[in-house]
Structure 1
């Protein structure tokens, strides 16, 4: 590797030492105040710092008070002694008139080897996502309300989130700039009354645990299941009903998968979220019908579901297990895609500034072309270990190391049947 590229990686990790918050798209990691767990009464830390879980037994003088009395430190040593002062996040736009707000983020990353999923431009400093959004969240506590949201994305991730399902059509499908591109992944209106709301337009899927926005994921890289077996966006109408504090139900109609405002099929999208206990949440989400008119002999139809269980093992340890099933046929009634995957995540929050996590995936595939003509059945495995460091409320640094291997055949990995990949990115929010 060239020295200049190593310097870019070092600058990315160290030169950007100033802040992030996990974003607005879900999957946020719940950070735990160790001081609240301790038997002593520290009070509320004025600087907003938290003591790491392994320091709970140090007592007030060794944790809370040491941080808030001594001010905010910088670096891993300070965090290990309990000093973790994120401060308040900065906003570029903030709240606008009539309840509208604007914001965004920028994600820059480097990965040492190509993966057949999103991170396919190796050994370069990449602008993955330069993101802007405008949103009016609805508030139905006093009755009827109307709002909406629009998102704009520029970067190398844009081509994966355009309306490629109707290629070469699609309202943003041709907005490419070499390996970079532009996308409008969301543009919808939402109306609600009481516990019921309806979203109409172009919006993200409710399927799966990982999401497109960098701010909604713990890891820099993505799972095979996310990329090959799940839709990213839908166009149509989706209703959400909050039946109780523990039960949410979704149901609606979409024009296939990953289309803009072009007809790409007719499908049902729905699911249910159940808070089974205070610590365990279960989500079942499904889409059934015609997923696309542009491939697989002009018609792909079938069934897909994702089941996600999210369990708080302790106040600082989160375990997620996800199972996805996809089964489709083409226009001639021949099997098109048959996949099954199990993803497991274990995430440990050490403090407001530090978290560590692991992801293990088993992905069984029939019919997916990984870009090398290989479509026979195979089993792919991937293990990812990563760290999230938040030196400031507006910055997250996410280094990771990932191992991919395939026991059946080559699937397009750079080194053949197995591959080790180092990756790191920094996400700035504003």
Structure 2
């Protein structure tokens, strides 16, 4: 029987989350809010947005038929002009050659999540910030990239190569691409390797195509540290949206403000053949609307569809853990992911976003869904306040899973027995408050990039009376209900990026 919100404390938590959302609507202070564009970005993009006062102001919303003045280049032509990267020194007045547009970027993040009440040493329902009371080097991300640059006749070519090392790499593998090569707390993972092409075909503004390994394009919170407002993730970003895909993605620019997105890939965090989860393709379908309402509103609606289960045989380890393989039926059992997000820029300092996500999995016979509201206020150029409230439902307890060993997620994706524990069917509530502090006395002295510190306080709560927090399961009883019904914890990370 589905459990309902019955206790008074659950009502208080919901009321508190609603109040946070109300404050967003009424214009009370917040920082770098997310946009409706795909959340996952490369390190170079992050380094360019460290200073909010330098962020691009929203353009107006002319009619689609309106052309730029004859004396200026179109937005598309301007974007594809050759530009100097940061790896070469180009003489003043000299038009950069293609290879002088190369860019190299690095981002380093370390942090800690304090949870004095845990008896498991874990923060339940977390990937990257799962280790309680432990300072971790979360990620060192390095990239070599080239923006899409004109090569003549309306065509453009660019690329991105990126890799990660750190504790976060445990949860960002792509099976068949170096997965399982390291087995401790600190691992490595290739995160992006794609060719980017602009094609002046069919539509007035053409088509942009990415081919290779790329971040998932759904959700509000990205993998690189500064591609999200907090150190910790919301439930939807950890458990619903794809992290990595290998395939081809096309964005067709139907009008000045509307894009059509289509993609075919191998699935979430897998590749092809022996490194795939089954023999059926998956893919994206979506629409995005940009800079509506005089540049203040961005919206996207994106789905990812296809069989996601592993078609290998079920394997049992000597200790009793079981693999995720379910046999040939995995080839036909579908998984549906959906993400709808709207971001409204109230003014130059305040932004509010609402993100709704949904997952249905035929193999797990599970539905999971949630709504997250973000509020961001740039108090000063160097200080941003962020708030996040989320309600998330896991109907069977099969989606929210704590992968409890260093290699659990990689083992689960590659059909090896993996240690884990989960909860009963639960409706989760989460409220997070924090700031992004970019200390001027430090950043003014840095030769490269910028330094950001993000303290936060977070309350997670079961809203239907289960007790999944602060306790671990066992191989005999992996479903936890003898913990606490809430988890109050404090986190802080520090990031240097250029």
TM-score band (shorter)? Answer: 0.7 to 0.9
User: 1:363, 1:236 → 2: CA distance?
Assistant: 30
Q: Which residue of 1 aligns with 2:139?
A: 129
Count of aligned pairs: 345
Q: Which residue of 1 aligns with 2:382?
A: 353
Q: Which residue of 2 aligns with 1:148?
A: 159
Q: Which residue of 1 aligns with 2:149?
A: 139
Within the candidate set 416, 424, 435, 1:387 is matched to 435
TM-score when normalising by structure 2: 0.64
Are the equivalent residues in 2 in contact too, given 1:146–1:189 (CA < 8 A)?
Answer: yes
Query: Which of the pair is proportionally richer in strand?
Result: 1
Are the equivalent residues in 1 in contact too, given 2:430–2:459 (CA < 8 A)?
Answer: yes
Contiguous gaps of at least 5 residues in structure 1: 1-20, 37-90
User: 2:48, 2:255 → 1: CA distance?
Assistant: 21
Are the equivalent residues in 1 in contact too, given 2:102–2:146 (CA < 8 A)?
Answer: yes
User: 2:47, 2:469 → 1: CA distance?
Assistant: 31
Within the candidate set 327, 335, 344, 1:302 is matched to 335
Deviation sequence 1:33-83 (CA, Å, 0-9, x none): 8xx9xxxxxxxxxxxxxxxxxxxxxxxxxxxxxxxxxxxxxxxxxxxxxxx
User: 2:226, 2:110 → 1: CA distance?
Assistant: 12
Within the candidate set 193, 198, 218, 1:187 is matched to 193
Post-superposition shift, 1:108? 0.8
User: 1:205, 1:27 → 2: CA distance?
Assistant: 21
SS in 1 for 2:229: coil
Q: Which residue of 2 aligns with 1:242?
A: 253
Q: Which residue of 1 aligns with 2:220?
A: 209
Is 1:196 the counterpart of 2:207? The answer is yes
Are the equivalent residues in 1 in contact too, given 2:192–2:213 (CA < 8 A)?
Answer: yes
Deviation sequence 1:138-187 (CA, Å, 0-9, x none): 12495212221111100000011112xx5xxx222112241110000111
Q: Which residue of 1 aligns with 2:457?
A: 401
User: Equivalent residues in 2 for 1:306-317 (5 A)?
Assistant: 306-317=339-350
C-alpha spacing 1:205/1:151, structure 2 compared with 1 (3 Å): same
C-alpha spacing 1:29/1:308, structure 2 compared with 1 (3 Å): farther
Q: Which residue of 2 aligns with 1:419?
A: 487
Q: Which residue of 2 aligns with 1:290?
A: 307
Q: Which residue of 2 aligns with 1:368?
A: 399
Contiguous gaps of at least 5 residues in structure 2: 1-41, 58-84, 90-97, 116-121, 201-205, 312-323, 403-419, 444-448, 472-482
Q: Which residue of 2 aligns with 1:325?
A: 358
C-alpha spacing 1:363/1:141, structure 2 compared with 1 (3 Å): farther
Is 1:279 the counterpart of 2:296? The answer is yes
User: 1:389, 1:94 → 2: CA distance?
Assistant: 31
User: 1:199, 1:247 → 2: CA distance?
Assistant: 18
User: 2:48, 2:375 → 1: CA distance?
Assistant: 13
C-alpha spacing 1:256/1:27, structure 2 compared with 1 (3 Å): farther
Aligned Cα RMSD in Å?
Answer: 2.7
SS in 1 for 2:177: coil
Are the equivalent residues in 2 in contact too, given 1:319–1:345 (CA < 8 A)?
Answer: yes
C-alpha spacing 1:374/1:131, structure 2 compared with 1 (3 Å): closer
C-alpha spacing 1:238/1:27, structure 2 compared with 1 (3 Å): farther
Q: Which residue of 1 aligns with 2:112?
A: 110
